[in-house]
Amino acid sequence: MQPDRERRFLNPERVLSEREICNEALEVYRHWHAVLGEHRDIIDFDLREKPERGEQILAEMFQRAPTRIQLSSHVEIVGRLLEQVKKSKPVSSENSHIWDFLEAQVEASYWYAKKKAGYKIDTFEYIEMTQTFEPEFIPESLLQALSQRLVTQAEEITGSSDPAVMEKWRKANCLSSDGAKELFGEKALQAAKRIRHFTGLYFDHDFDVEAVDVNEYWWVWANTDPDTGRFLFRQNFSEERDKIWTPGKAEELGWHEGFHGARMARRKELIRRGKLHPFFGLTTVHGPEAAVDEGLGQTLVYFVPGIYQSLSPEGKLRVDESVLRSMVYGNIHLRINDPRESLSPGQITRYIRTHIPWEPRKIIDRESKDRTSDPLLQTYRYAYALGVRMMLTYAENLNDRGKQEFLRNIFERPYTLPQVNNLFNRLITKKRNIASNIPKGQIPDADGENVQENSFLTQNIA
Cα angle for residues 124, 129, 134 (degrees, 5° grid): 55
Q: Residue 116 above 50 pLDDT?
A: yes
Q: What pLDDT shows up at residue 88?
A: 92
d(CA 99, CA 86): 9
User: Residue 169 is inside which H or E element, if any?
Assistant: helix 163-172
H/E element holding 417? helix 417-427
What is the spatial distance between Cα 350 and Cα 348, in angstroms, rounded to a whole number? 5
User: Phi and psi (nearest 5°) for 180?
Assistant: -65, -40
Measured distance CA(209)–CA(236) in Å, rounded: 10
At 298, is the pLDDT very low, low, confident or very high (cuts 50, 70, 90)? very high
The domain spans of the chain are: 18-131, 140-460
Q: Is the pLDDT of residue 332 over 70?
A: yes
Which CATH number applies to 140-460? 1.10.390
Is residue 439 over pLDDT 50? yes
Say what angle helices 247-272 and 290-303 make with each other, to 10 degrees.
Answer: 120
> Exposed, middle or buried: residue 435 (CB in 10 Å: 0-12, 13-18, 19+)?
middle
Residue pair 376/115 in contact (Cβ under 8 Å)? The answer is: no
The pLDDT value recorded for residue 91 is 73
- Spatial separation of the C-alpha atoms in residues 42 and 119, rounded to whole Å: 18
pLDDT tens per residue across span 11-25: 667 888 899 999 999
Give the per-residue pLDDT at 154. Answer: 96
Give, rounded to a whole angstrom, the gap between the first and last alpha carbons of the chain. Answer: 56
Per-residue pLDDT at 52: 66
**pLDDT (0 to 100) of residue 456:** 41
User: Residues 132-146: pLDDT tens digits?
Assistant: 999 999 999 999 999
Confidence class of residue 54 from pLDDT cuts 50, 70 and 90?
low
Q: Which residues make Cβ contacts (< 8 Å) with residue 330, sequence separation at least 6?
A: 137, 138, 382, 384, 385, 386, 389
Q: Which of 60-69, 76-85, 121-130, 294-303 has the lowest mean pLDDT?
A: 60-69
Q: Which percentage of the chain shows pLDDT scores above 70?
A: 89
Question: Which residue stretches of 273-374 are H helix?
Answer: 290-303, 307-310, 313-336, 345-355, 361-373
pLDDT in tens, 214-232: 999 999 999 998 878 899 9
What is the separation of C-alpha 59 from the centre of its chain, rounded to a whole number of angstroms? 26
How many percent of the chain have pLDDT more than 90? 80
Q: For residues 231-235, give the mean pLDDT.
A: 96
Per-residue pLDDT tens over the stretch 160-211: 989 999 999 999 999 999 999 999 999 999 999 999 999 999 999 889 999 9
Main-chain phi, psi angles of 45, to 5 degrees: -80, 140
Instruction: Say yes or no to pLDDT of 83 above 50.
Output: yes
Cα separation of 325 and 359, whole Å?
A: 9
Residue 452 phi, psi dihedral angles, 5° rounding: -80, 120
Q: Is the dihedral of CA 295, 298, 304, 305 positive or negative?
A: negative
Residue-wise pLDDT for 30-52, tens only, equals 989 988 988 889 999 999 876 66
Classified as helix, coil or strand, 443 is: coil
Q: In whole angstroms, give the CA distance from residue 76 to residue 161.
A: 53
E-strand ranges in 132-253 read: 207-212, 220-224, 231-236
The whole-number pLDDT of residue 161 equals: 82
State how far the Cα of 299 lies from the Cα of 322, in Å rounded to an integer: 10
Helix H or strand E segment including 181 = helix 177-199
